[in-house]
């Protein structure tokens, strides 16, 4: 009979005089009544170690003893570590608290710091439990000490890092034993270090309580050792009872007899434990299941069995004559759990070869495989909205499960998102095979099928074509005689061509080729091919439609973004725009030259993707262009833009089917190269980054206004004074934020990228920053890097004008002399006319003070300022009017003119083109 491991074997009673079986346990190992062994027997067996139970007992006692010793040693080390860390933390907390206490700076600067600080230091030391609390100057001369005779002497320790503003922590052996001392700086409001504070405590004072727990730990360890030894004795007693006191040699001989019987039967036997591991498999089971030699003690799922058989073995359920196809055999499987009567968890499985049912099971397996393939097609084809990738998924699914080679040919118009045009050439979009060296036309080639080919017939009729034997298909060979001979010589002998139809459109053809299997394609396989292609055609058409809409949106977005940046001399600019991985968004940017050689930079982002986001972006960009022509401050411009967004889609609501603006952000900055000031305001947008000429990077502190469209809240501005050569970095949130990281982490990465570009040009800065982004980001990215220039004093001239008409002639003379110095004598006459009209109007209608300023940039700019807020208007004067023709004359002489308002009044300006390039295009 077969005996399961770990369970006693029932034997018939032995007659008098019959010899004992070789594998029977010795009688002296049994207890009273033959039911067990006595406790003295357990102890003797454990001490001697002759039995298996005794060896286990000794081993477990040694292991428990080692664990107890390890726990005691670990506790001692932990006590020492905790004492050191507590001493450091307490000293640092006391020193920092006392250094930052009220009146500390004043006391250090008083005439007698020791008189003020010594009582306070001693009180703090006694209250906190530290061993010393010393206050000293930056040279280390003590003002306080627990021992007054040491006041005025130099402190022993490292002070340089603390004098520099840092914190010093030292572990030393002092006169009072091993201790930890901390030195921290005392800073005034300006951040200057005016003194030092040191606190220290011995580790013995901190860890004393922990050392007192060591005897308790040792007592607990001794108790644990005693309990573990007693428990081990009980376990060994049970093991001794189960093995009947047998020694290793006797147990080995007994199991050898059992194995001989187990492996002699012609039925596979498997024993699987409750954890799914194979405990035992006889020789027949190894043969039927083709198990590896080291199968025992491995998990059933690691034995290379098919999923169905492995699932049955790990389930432990009851099975009766279940038929399983394993490799080329049909096996009848019976399975029963082993824990029905209190046995160990697991199951016993028997296997019987039933290969005569193979033919019937084979057909069922083919049907199941085809159903699985159709299911995989439903979930595996069309995972992306990419026409080429969808075609590749169809070919990859078919090979090798259905065909040895698969090719997909689509019209070029389909690849571009357009509707197919019959009669045009196709392009091989996908080519997948079991081997890479096939003579089939590779992917990417253009094909024009002849009328007799199976592909052309499928495209024309919309019906599938089967070329069961390609050698006998003259129409297929006529496509390319030389390549056809190569295909036949390669071993490809059968073909199915199925048109890719989506409604009334034929998008292309799918071809399935057979080479490895000698049988040609049959009608059942044709039906399967048509079902696969029908599912793929829907996905390809969806990808085509998406490609068309995406191309339209990208075209619209590109047309709305600036193609080139306008000429200006205040900033050296570089920019980048990266579209999102899927769809187009509403990120945008612009550079707007303003009056007075100033330049406005704007970056914005419309929430969402698609045509509506791109169109909204275009409307906002147009609005900013219009508002900037009014020369408004950034906060006022954002206020107008916020009001516009609030009204933008008031007639488009979800009820009427229109898409509404779900949010927009914007940052608007104006840089003046004369004053080097940059005025910035933002509406829900990330702050700009500023790279100083020395390479330092900071994010400008610009008040964060609400996103556009909320309404009701004002915006605030921040003024930055920029050193010449500074780089201002404006960007959208796609650069610093995505699904895998938050904006704080993105800002840190941007800072690190900018720190790696000290002194770099804006173009190099853009390249370095974008190198850290993925090839196709998940959101649109707009980036502008602007390096500042300065309009030097030799290109700026300004005068104060008294409110007297007689002063006009003096101003004209001064301007004429300055134009001569600049080599612009050709503009002297027109400039005098313009200046005369503007200054006369300011004197007559404006208010003091009145100023005149000339700027020589890419154009000659003449500005007249006064404190009045009344703006002049251009009009036609009647023939009887005495005035009213001045601004008309200015408009005719100047290329551009206008008015901008300032906090103190207004400025009327006029620009004239330079007659030649006098070398003023690049600011110094």
Residue predicted with more confidence, 858 or 78: 858
Beta-carbon contacts of 121 under 8 Å, excluding residues fewer than 6 positions away, are 98, 133, 134, 135, 144
CA distances 189 to 100, 104, 109, 193, Å, are 11, 12, 14, 10
Q: How confident is the model over 333-353, as pLDDT tens digits?
A: 899 998 877 778 889 998 888
Strands 446-447 and 168-174: what pairing? unpaired
Residue 876 confidence (pLDDT): 57
Please give the structure tokens belonging to residue 765: 């800065």
Give Cα 558 to chain centroid, integer Å. 27
| pLDDT at residue 157 greater than cutoff 50 | yes
Residue 701 confidence (pLDDT): 92
Residue pointed to by tokens 């850290």: 772
| pLDDT at residue 789 greater than cutoff 50 | yes
| pLDDT at residue 804 greater than cutoff 70 | yes
Please give the structure tokens belonging to residue 10: 């029932």
| pLDDT at residue 424 greater than cutoff 60 | yes
Q: How confident is the model at residue 712 (pLDDT cuts 50, 70, 90)?
A: confident
Mean pLDDT confidence for 230-250: 69
Helix, strand or coil, per DSSP, at residue 197: strand
| pLDDT at residue 358 greater than cutoff 70 | no
Range name among 241-255, 374-388, 419-433, 744-758 with the lowest pLDDT average: 241-255
Residue 359 confidence (pLDDT): 57
Q: How confident is the model at residue 7 (pLDDT cuts 50, 70, 90)?
A: very low
Highest averaged pLDDT of the listed ranges 70-74, 114-118, 261-265, 778-782:
114-118
The CA distance from 547 to 429, in Å, is 15
The CA distance from 689 to 787, in Å, is 12
Highest averaged pLDDT of the listed ranges 211-215, 549-553, 592-596:
592-596
Q: How confident is the model at residue 92 (pLDDT cuts 50, 70, 90)?
A: confident
241: left (phi over 0), alpha (psi -120 to 50) or beta: alpha
DSSP string, 354-419: -GGGHHHHHHHHHHHHHHHHHHHHHHHS-SSS-HHHHHHHHHHHHTTTT-SEEEEEEEHHHHTTSP
Neighbours of 208 (CB within 10 A): 11
Q: Where are the alpha helices (DSSP H) in 629-701?
A: 634-648
Share of the chain above pLDDT 70, in %: 84
Residue predicted with more confidence, 855 or 550: 855
Q: At what angle do helices 358-380 and 387-398 cross, to 10 degrees?
A: 170
Residue predicted with more confidence, 21 or 911: 911
For the CA atoms of 154, 157, 161, 163, the dihedral, rounded to the nearest 10 degrees, stands at: -20
Residue predicted with more confidence, 87 or 364: 87
| pLDDT at residue 149 greater than cutoff 60 | yes
Please give the structure tokens belonging to residue 463: 């019906």
Residue 39 confidence (pLDDT): 46
The CA distance from 121 to 884, in Å, is 82
Residue 212 confidence (pLDDT): 62
Question: How many residues appear in the chain?
Answer: 924
Mean pLDDT confidence for 590-609: 89
Strands 704-705 and 677-683: what pairing? parallel
Cβ pair 786, 571 in contact under 8 A: yes
Residue 54 confidence (pLDDT): 66
Give Cα 78 to chain centroid, integer Å. 39
What is the overall mean pLDDT for the chain? 81
Neighbours of 341 (CB within 10 A): 5
Give Cα 781 to chain centroid, integer Å. 15
Peptide bond into 400 cis (omega under 30): yes
Highest averaged pLDDT of the listed ranges 16-30, 240-254, 342-356:
342-356
The CA distance from 442 to 522, in Å, is 26
DSSP string, 469-513: -GGG-HHHHTT-HHHHHHHHHHT--EEEEEEEEETTEEEEEEEEE
Q: Where are the alpha helices (DSSP H) in 565-702?
A: 611-628, 634-648
Residue 26 confidence (pLDDT): 40
695: left (phi over 0), alpha (psi -120 to 50) or beta: left
Question: Among 183, 176, 179, 171, which Cα is nearest to 207's?
Answer: 179
The CA distance from 157 to 178, in Å, is 14
Query: Residue 99: what are its φ and ψ, rounded to 5°?
Result: -65, -35
Neighbours of 368 (CB within 10 A): 10
Residue 9 confidence (pLDDT): 38
| pLDDT at residue 596 greater than cutoff 60 | yes
Cβ pair 420, 506 in contact under 8 A: yes
Residue 323 confidence (pLDDT): 80
The CA distance from 356 to 701, in Å, is 83
Range name among 44-48, 211-215, 819-823 with the lowest pLDDT average: 44-48
Helix, strand or coil, per DSSP, at residue 649: coil
| pLDDT at residue 600 greater than cutoff 90 | yes
Mean pLDDT confidence for 140-154: 88
Mean pLDDT confidence for 516-521: 88
């Amino acid at each position: 009979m077969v005996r399961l491991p770990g369970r006693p074997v029932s034997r018939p009673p032995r007659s008098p005089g019959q010899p004992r079986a070789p594998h029977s346990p010795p009688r002296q190992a049994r207890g009273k009544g033959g039911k067990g062994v006595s406790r003295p027997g357990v102890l003797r067996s454990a001490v001697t170690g002759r039995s298996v139970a005794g060896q286990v007992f000794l081993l477990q006692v040694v292991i428990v003893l080692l664990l107890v010793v390890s726990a005691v040693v670990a506790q001692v080390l932990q006590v020492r570590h905790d004492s050191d860390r507590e001493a450091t933390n307490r000293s640092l907390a006391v020193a920092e608290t006392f250094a930052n206490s009220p009146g500390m700076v004043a006391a250090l600067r008083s005439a007698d710091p020791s008189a003020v600080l010594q009582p306070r230091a001693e009180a703090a030391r006694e209250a906190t439990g530290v061993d010393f609390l010393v206050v000293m100057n930056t040279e280390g001369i003590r003002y306080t000490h627990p021992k007054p005779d040491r006041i005025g002497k130099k402190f022993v320790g490292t002070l340089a890092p603390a004098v520099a503003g840092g914190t010093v922590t030292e572990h030393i052996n002092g006169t009072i034993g091993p201790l930890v001392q901390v030195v921290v700086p005392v800073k005034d409001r300006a951040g200057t270090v005016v003194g030092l504070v040191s606190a220290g405590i011995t580790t013995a004072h901190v860890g004393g309580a922990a050392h007192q727990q060591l005897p308790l730990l040792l007592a607990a360890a001794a108790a644990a050792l005693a309990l573990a030894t007693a428990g081990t004795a009980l376990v060994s007693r049970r093991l001794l009872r189960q093995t009947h006191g047998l020694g290793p040699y006797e147990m080995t001989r007994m199991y050898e007899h059992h194995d001989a019987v187990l492996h002699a039967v012609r039925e596979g036997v498997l024993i699987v434990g409750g954890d799914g591991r194979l405990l035992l498999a006889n020789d027949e089971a190894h043969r039927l299941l083709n198990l590896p030699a080291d199968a025992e003690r491995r998990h059933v799922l690691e034995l290379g069995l098919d999923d169905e058989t492995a699932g049955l073995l790990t389930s432990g359920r009851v099975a009766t004559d279940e038929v399983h196809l394993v490799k080329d055999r049909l096996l009848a499987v019976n399975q029963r759990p082993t824990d029905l009567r209190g046995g160990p968890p697991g199951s016993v499985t028997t296997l019987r070869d039933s290969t005569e049912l193979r033919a019937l099971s084979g057909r069922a397996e083919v049907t199941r495989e085809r159903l699985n393939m159709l299911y995989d097609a439903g979930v595996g084809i069309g995972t992306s909205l990419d026409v080429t990738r969808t075609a590749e998924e169809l070919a990859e699914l078919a090979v090798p499960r259905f065909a040895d080679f698969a090719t997909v040919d689509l019209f070029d118009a389909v690849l571009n998102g357009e509707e197919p045009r019959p009669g045009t050439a196709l392009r091989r979009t996908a080519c997948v095979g079991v081997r890479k060296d096939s003579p089939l036309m590779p992917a990417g080639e253009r094909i024009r099928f002849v009328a007799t080919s199976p592909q052309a017939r499928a495209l024309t009729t919309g019906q599938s074509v089967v070329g069961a034997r390609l050698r006998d298909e003259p129409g297929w060979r006529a496509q390319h005689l030389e390549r056809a001979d190569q295909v036949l010589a390669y071993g490809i002998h059968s073909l199915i061509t199925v048109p890719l139809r989506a409604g009334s459109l034929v998008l292309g053809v799918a071809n399935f080729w057979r080479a490895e299997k000698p049988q040609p394609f049959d009608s059942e396989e044709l039906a399967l091919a048509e079902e696969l292609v029908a599912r793929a055609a829907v996905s390809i058409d969806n990808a085509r439609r998406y490609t068309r809409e995406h191309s339209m949106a990208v075209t619209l977005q590109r047309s709305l973004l600036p193609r080139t940046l306008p000429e200006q001399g205040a900033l050296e600019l570089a920019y980048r725009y990266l579209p999102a991985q899927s769809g187009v968004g509403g990120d945008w940017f612009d550079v707007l030259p303003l009056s007075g050689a100033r330049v406005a930079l704007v970056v914005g982002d419309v929430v969402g993707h698609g045509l509506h986001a791109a169109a909204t972006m275009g409307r906002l960009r147009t609005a900013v262009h219009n508002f900037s022509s009014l020369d408004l401050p950034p906060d006022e411009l954002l206020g107008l833009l916020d009001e516009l967004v609030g009204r933008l889609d008031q007639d488009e609501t979800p009820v009427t089917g229109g898409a509404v603006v779900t949010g927009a952000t914007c940052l608007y900055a104006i840089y003046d190269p004369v004053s080097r000031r940059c005025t910035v305001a933002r509406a829900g947008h990330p702050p700009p980054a500023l790279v100083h000429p020395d390479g330092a990077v900071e994010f400008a502190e610009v008040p964060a206004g609400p996103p556009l469209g909320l309404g009701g809240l004002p915006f605030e501005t921040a003024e930055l004074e920029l050193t010449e050569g500074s780089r201002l970095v404006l960007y959208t949130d796609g650069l610093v934020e995505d699904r895998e990281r938050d904006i704080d982490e993105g800002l840190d990465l941007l800072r690190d990228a900018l720190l790696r570009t000290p002194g770099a040009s804006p173009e190099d800065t853009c390249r370095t920053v974008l190198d850290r982004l993925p090839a196709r980001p998940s959101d649109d990215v707009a980036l502008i890097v602007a390096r500042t220039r300065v309009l030097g004093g030799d290109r700026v001239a300004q005068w104060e004008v008294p409110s007297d008409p007689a002063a006009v002639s003096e101003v004209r003379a001064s301007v004429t002399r300055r134009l001569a110095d600049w080599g612009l004598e050709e503009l002297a006459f027109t400039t005098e006319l313009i200046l005369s009209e503007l200054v006369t109007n300011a004197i007559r209608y404006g208010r003091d003070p009145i100023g005149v300023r000339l700027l020589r940039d890419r154009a000659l700019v003449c500005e007249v300022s006064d404190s009045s807020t009344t703006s002049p208007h251009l009009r036609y004067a009647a023939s009887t009017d005495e005035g009213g023709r001045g601004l008309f004359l200015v408009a005719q002489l100047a290329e551009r003119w206008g008015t901008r308002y300032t906090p103190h009044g207004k400025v009327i300006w006029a620009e004239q083109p330079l007659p030649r390039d006098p070398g003023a295009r690049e600011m110094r």
